[in-house]
Structure 1
Amino acid sequence: MALLNLCQRLEPTIVLEQLGSSLFSTALQMVVKDRCANTTHLSGEASQQRAMTDFYMTYNLTTLLVPILPALLLSRLGDRGWRRLPIAVPLVGYLLLSLSLVLVVVLRLPVEVMFGAAAVYGLCGGFGAYWPGVMTLAAVSSTATDRSKVMMTVELVYGTAGLIGSLASGHMFLLYSSSLGNGTILIAVGALLQLLSLIHSSVLLQVKPESNTEPEDNTLLLPHSSDEVPVEAPAERSRVNVVLLVATAVLYVSAVGGGVEIMEVFVLKEPLNWDATQVGYGHAAGSMIFITSFFGVIVFRRCASDVTLILIGMLSFASGIYFMSFVTTTYMFYLARSLNLFALIPMPTIRSLISQQVPAVSCGTTLTCLQLTLTFAGLAYIPAFTKIYQRTVDGFPGFVFMLSSIITVLGMIPLSIVGYRSRQKKSRIPVD
């Protein structure tokens, strides 16, 4: 019975999908590196770096732009009772994306084929539908008081699966088939895992009835601090707070997304010049942050509000990515990443705060709109970071990481306003 209950939960879908995605990410990174290195008209490391960043810019923009309308449609269907749909349909896209990379490697197709595969993945909703679908299912199955913890638990499962998959991916990439080439076994295993995830989400996943018993208009902005009184937020006040939280999310995701995108290319050049195994370890270090962030929430939420938790996470990322600007050896890279211990706290906590400002019946649409707002931000920060890196790669390649740190600090400003407004509201509540 316990095994059956586990099979019906959300976690197996997340684990299988993230294991497959971790294998896919390492494979794609190494395939792109090999193709750019073997292209005859690309001479010199700077030219190869520009080619790789151009590929990732087009690929990432496609995966961000195409899913906008499909994600909105899936979120609407999810809020009408089809809670599994925003999860299962994007998993079809993940599977097709992995199968496309298999064909690129086996048939020696141009790597640009992945642009078309990314478009198909986007038409299935992409990450913009999948992750809000996962978070919505977690949100509507939890109370407002426990929501941050539940969402961070989802992030923990996601990160642990990514850690395991990343550690294995570099070694699996080296498994060689004389007729197929490096990486084929790795990608095929990833596709199989994503197929299993799709089957689980479509057949076994059970959507539990909403467990929330709070009134829909009882919105708590800072419910987790042990010394704070819950603050009821009027509709107008909630809207202002939501706008400020969205502004924080946009600035933070821009900093993280731009910095991490360039990091994938940065580690492949001198002086680091990583191979497939080291790339897998690097991804594992990123996945470890999910775990440390989870335990950070468990420890800090006993004495800190959600706003303070977000500030801790943003400060953690800002310090680590600033140190990354001066990385010249592998051990320095891991020292920089170690400063990012709590960098995954902000986004699930922001989603939790925003979800508490809206009725449950519109929770999925709200979180999807947040995700799409972050998508539109990606249309700006991805080309910006790419072009800045290309212009500074010869002189100061770490400049983009310093810029990422500055943007993170700017993102603390609207969040601090939210905290200030909340303290003002609390001070007006008469104490019996």
Structure 2
Amino acid sequence: MVLPNLCQAALTVLHQIEPVIILEQLGSTLFDTALQMVVKDECANATYPDTHLSREDSQQKAMSDFFMTFNLIVKLAPILPALLLARLGDRGWRRLPIVVPLCGYLVSRLMLLLVVIFKLPLEVMFGAAALFGLSGGFCAYWPGVMTLASLASTAADRSKVMMRVELLYGAAGLVGSLVSGHLFLLYSSSLGNGTVLLTVSTLLALLCLLQSIFLLQVKQESNNEPEDHYQLLSSDSSDGPAEAPARVNRVNMALLFMAATLYVSAVGGALEILGIFVMKAPLGWTATQVGYGNAAGCMIFVTSYLGVMVFRRCVSDVMLILIGMISFASGIYFMSFVTATYLFYLARSLNMFALIPLPTIRSLLSLQVPASSCGTTLTLLQLSLKFAGLVYIPASTKIYQATLTWFPGFVFLLASIITVLGMIPISIFGCRSPQRRQNERIQGD
């Protein structure tokens, strides 16, 4: 009697989106560590005679050039496929924006494994990035995940549900990152470093794809509750009505898009360089330390979730976003002057609420459009963040290369300033929303 009940409970869990999130993120964190270390090894002998750089600085320049091109392809290629998948998702094919990108995840991991085993040129990964992008990539996958999570929740719980998704994503990344450095050091004498790590990553991607194809189900929660039940936070929240308005306020949506774009530009530009920065003296991290550093980044998902659970009882969504932005701005400012590993972790600890802004902004956006347009709206937001990447990725790379010899942390200082600028549109949104709600009540009277 107990065994059938356990099997039924396990099957119910496998029908939900959570196992997909966990398996994909476990595989992704293993892949990220492997890619960092493989690129480091391949760029070890890079030289730039005309620039008179040291061997270490030449390696840093070669690594930053590779990741700039790789990440630009990843940002640019998914634009049209992600829009197409979002439209198909909103027309009823809800699993398609998840299944197709997972095929791209599997192919990219398999290609890096082939690069390591057969000693192929590192440029092969540019082709892997293109195939990954043409599958929709993260640009289609994450809005697809968020759309399923949104549809399976009530409007009152949507912000909480989205942060729970981020929590699972971060917890899986934490576990994967902690073991990734150790797995990278396991190798056979004939194949070399990274083969075990990439094999596990590829198998996880395969399991995730199979689960999304054969077991994942779409559940839509009925939202026919009274208007009083649609409060996103407490009754004191001043972010405006939680249910979608009859007429979309385009100014408010533009402010949310602007805040998200500025914040992602700051975060993305800093993280673009952070993985390279830690391999440079005086830090000079090994594969194990890289895994631990990635785990520290994933820990922010957990602390951000706990922050939402604590703060949402007493502050509005706008205030939650500002708290997250202040957290990132202070931590990344401190990162500018990091010269030892313990200082790195101190700087990361200041970022403990840095993951709050984006899911909260997504929640506010999803509540301002009809359910039939939710997937498209979230994908448009994701695409705007991708277009921002076409600017901040090369900009942060070139700034880092230009300041490499005299102030390598300058790009982090710049990210802190951009974050502060991102607080302006979200503050304006917070000031507009109470006035809008008051006007609606006067019109109703």
Normalised by the length of structure 1, the TM-score is: 0.96
1:207 to 207, 215, 218: 218
Q: How does 1:40-55 map to 2 (within 5 A)?
A: 44-55=55-66
User: In 1, Cα distance between the equivalents of 2:19 and 2:420?
Assistant: 36
Output aligned runs, 1:123-162, within 5 Å: 123-162=134-173
Secondary structure (helix, strand or coil) at the match of 2:155 reads coil
Question: For 1:240-264, what per-residue CA distance to the aligned partner results, in whole angstroms no more than 9, with x for missing partners?
Answer: 1110000000000000000011001
The equivalences for 1:228-377 within 5 A come to: 228=237, 231-232=240-241, 238-377=249-388
Distance across 1 between alignment mates of 2:286 and 2:108:
23
Q: Secondary structure at the match of 1:272?
A: coil
State the Cα distance separating 1:152 from its structure 2 match: 0.3
Q: Distance in 1 between matches of 2:388 and 2:272?
A: 14
Structure 1 equivalent of residue 44 of structure 2? 37
- 1:3 pairs with 2:10: yes
Shift of the 114–413 alpha-carbon distance from structure 1 to 2, 3 Å rule, reads same
Give me the whole-angstrom Cα distance separating, in 1, the residues matched to 2:200 and 2:82.
27
TM-aligned CA distance change 1:378 to 1:148, over 3 Å: same
Corresponding residue number in structure 2 for 1:223 = 232
Hey, what's the Cα distance between the residues in 2 that align with 1:221 and 1:237? 17
Secondary structure of the residue aligned to 1:81 is coil
Letter in 1 for 2:290: V
Structure 1 counterpart of 2:151, one-letter code: V
**Partner in structure 2 of residue 411 of structure 1:** 422
Q: Percent identity?
A: 69
| CA–CA separation in structure 1 for the residues paired with 2:27 and 2:228 | 37
Match of 1:182 in 2: 193
Q: Which runs of 5+ in 2 are unaligned?
A: 1-7
**CA–CA distance in structure 1, aligned partners of residues 320 and 228 of structure 2:** 19
Task: Measure the CA separation in 2 of the matches of 1:29 and 1:57.
Answer: 13
Q: What's 2:103 paired with? A: 92
Q: Which residue, 207, 226, 238 being the options, matches 1:196?
A: 207
Indicate if the aligned counterparts of 1:57 and 1:383 stay in contact, CA closer than 8 A: yes
Q: Residue 83 of structure 1: SS of its match in structure 2?
A: coil
| Structure 2 letter corresponding to 1:224 | L
Q: Is the 8 A contact 1:173 1:182 kept in 2?
A: yes
Give 1:19-34 correspondences, 5 Å limit: 19-34=26-41
Instruction: Kindly state the Cα deviation for residue 144 of structure 1 after the two structures are TM-superposed.
Output: 1.3
- Corresponding residue of 2:183: 172
Say what the alpha-carbon RMSD is for the aligned residues.
2.0
**Partners in 2 of 1:80 and 1:213 — Cα distance?**
22
Q: Is the 8 A contact 2:47 2:55 kept in 1?
A: no
How many Å separate the matches in 1 of 2:218 and 2:245? 31
**2:94 equivalent to 1:68:** no
Give the 5 Å matches for 1:111-126.
111-126=122-137
Q: How much does 1:229 deviate?
A: 6.7
> Unpaired segments of 5 or more residues in structure 1?
none
Q: Tell me, what secondary structure is at the counterpart of 1:376?
A: helix
Give the Cα separation in 2 of the matches to 1:212 and 1:202.
27
**Which deviates more from structure 2 when the two are superposed, residues 227-236 or residues 24-33?**
227-236
Partner in structure 1 of residue 435 of structure 2: 424
| CA drift at 1:424 | 2.3
Question: How many residues are treated as equivalent by the alignment?
Answer: 430
Give the distance between the partners of 2:408 and 2:246, measured in 1 at CA: 46
> Does structure 1 retain, via aligned residues, the 8 Å contact 2:30–2:177?
yes
Identify which range, 390-399 or 38-47, moves more after superposition: 38-47
